[in-house]
Chains A and B, each alone.
Chain A
């Protein structure tokens, strides 16, 4: 027994420096990830109070969530906006990458890649701010063009019918350059011998694209779909920036709902229960899509 402890101490001592090096990261994850995760599970079963004792209420918060129309409304918005984002931001950049790859003039190719990637590094405050201004009836670019043609201005951000297309469109504007570069890098990695062989067999450019480039992009497409799915479920910043009371009904998503209920109205227990529902959903969807996409990297 004593010997075993001594041996344990010896191997601990040997790795002493390694423990010190990894310590900040472990402390961080314990305080800011693991503790909140378990605390969140606990809070979701409580009528949580910052001051005084919080009492356990069982499944009340979960049941309340499932019977609140507000919850199902944001759930529906998340599904509609999320699904559109997943599909559009995967396939449109793919098409663009194939087109961009056909450009032979090096400087122009590099320039266009540089430009379309740019919006990706801007925050949603910036991108949202730009689009709110451009769509504004107050000297916004689109309405300036309309008035140039003698048309009346439209207040796009205050019309329910435009709300979701604007959210989906501005997301596409922000993210497509980034996704496009993922595809371009894959295309650059396709072995040229494949194309040469096809050329000898008499396949034209269109056939080469259809039968070589697209199939080779399949793996990247899976990764992009998975990234988009994860991104859609955690969507918050864009809605926080671009929403207003007039269009809120059409675009408020799950994470915004959690924020509003929990940290604006301070229904902490209720919001924690909804977070837990979203988290379980995310896990399930991720596992299913990883399996069905045969995610293998």
Chain B
């Protein structure tokens, strides 16, 4: 009996060390980025381990907003993310509600049209999608990247599942009171489905905030750039072309910090929905 407790104690100690090491692998890179973003230009090039700045300085951020002009891409990103998320939630909730209805003309066809695209990743049709967007005259507009992923099968099915959990009796009594189909959907179902809608809001917000490929494909003019493209040329492209190296490490890391702050805030305030959404997401795919 005693032996097992010693063995158990040893295991717990080793286990906690492993986990501390794990958490440090996750945290140290982030701390390093944060620290470097607050260094002076000079210090950001020193070959020393930086977990906090020696002389805290805002130079990196000042360069980021003045010379690199990150504000425009940042605002573009907010525009795309907010409008895109709003439309996504409204449209997917509407479609999800329709899929809960039984026996109406064309239900099977509609359901199939919605479910099949799940097997077709966006990446695999980028060439014809590019051609389509060009034909529609949406090239180089922010609307192209808002519209390109405005609906997803995943969110429609999630909303369908959510609506199915709402008791039918509510709908029936409203129907008897003379409420029409629109009123039943918007006044009864939508308010009760707020938690489900919050989950898809959060996922779509993160997806749109991070959206890279459509922006790479469709946007050409710098004043249309979203945050991810602006950041890509800031943090990546300069590595190998040392001749054009004009932005210091502190500015590059400041760019990363600015881009992750909205995500971290969202994560802190809505952690519960993240965890819930992950589970549903994995099971659905």
Contacts and interface: CB of A to CB of B under 8 A. Distances in A.
A130 B33 contact: yes
B105 A12 contact: yes
A147 B104 CA distance: 71
B94 A145 contact: no
A138 B45 contact: yes
Contacts of B48: 139, 144, 147-148
A152 B192 CA distance: 62
A116 B126 contact: no
A129 B238 CA distance: 11
Interface string B20-42: 00110111111011001000000
A291 interface: no
Interface stretch (B55-63, B78-86, B165-173, B276-284): B276-284
A224 B282 CA distance: 8
Interface in A29-66: 29-37, 39-40, 43, 48, 50
Given A18-B101, A24-B94, A286-B119, A204 B4 contact: yes
Given A18-B98, A43-B131, A236-B213, A33 B125 contact: yes
A28 B19 contact: no
Interface in B85-113: 91-92, 94-95, 97-99, 101, 104-106, 110, 113
A280 to B, nearest CB: 10
Interface in A91-108: 96, 99-100, 102-103, 108
Given A37-B125, A37-B128, A99 B19 contact: yes
Contact of A275 (B125, B147, B181, B267): B125
Contacts of A286: 119
Contacts of A21: 94-95, 97-98, 185
Interface size class of A (residues with CB under 8 A): 35 or more
Interface in A112-161: 112, 114-119, 121-126, 128-134, 136, 138-139, 141, 143-145, 147-148, 153, 157-158
Interface stretch (A68-76, A78-86, A210-218, A257-265): A257-265
A139 B282 contact: no
Contacts, number: 277
Interface in A202-234: 204-205, 220, 223-224, 226-227, 230, 233-234
A36 B129 contact: yes
Main SS class of interface, A: helix
B142 interface: no
A12 B48 CA distance: 72
Contacts of A24: 91, 94-95, 151
A26 B128 contact: no
B253 interface: yes
Contacts of A258: 126-127
B15 A185 contact: no
Contacts of B101: 15, 18
Contacts of A204: 4
Interface of B: 4, 8, 11-12, 15-16, 18-19, 22-23, 25-30, 32-33, 36, 44-50, 91-92, 94-95, 97-99, 101, 104-106, 110, 113-114, 117, 119-121, 123-132, 134, 136, 147-148, 150-151, 156, 180-182, 185, 206, 209-213, 216-217, 228, 231-232, 235-236, 239-240, 249, 252-253, 255-256, 259-260, 263-264, 267, 271, 274-275, 278-279, 282-283, 285
29 contacts: A8-B105, A15-B105, A17-B185, A18-B101, A21-B98, A22-B99, A26-B114, A28-B151, A32-B147, A35-B132, A50-B134, A111-B23, A112-B23, A118-B267, A128-B235, A128-B236, A139-B46, A143-B47, A147-B47, A182-B279, A223-B285, A224-B282, A255-B124, A258-B126, A259-B126, A259-B216, A275-B126, A275-B127, A283-B119
Listed from nearest, the 10 A-B pairs whose CB atoms lie closest are A129-B235, A123-B210, A40-B128, A36-B128, A15-B104, A17-B181, A25-B95, A21-B94, A22-B98, A28-B151
Given A139-B46, A144-B49, A242-B236, 16 more contacts: A18-B181, A21-B97, A28-B150, A29-B151, A34-B113, A96-B22, A108-B19, A124-B212, A129-B232, A129-B235, A129-B236, A139-B48, A181-B278, A230-B285, A233-B121, A255-B123
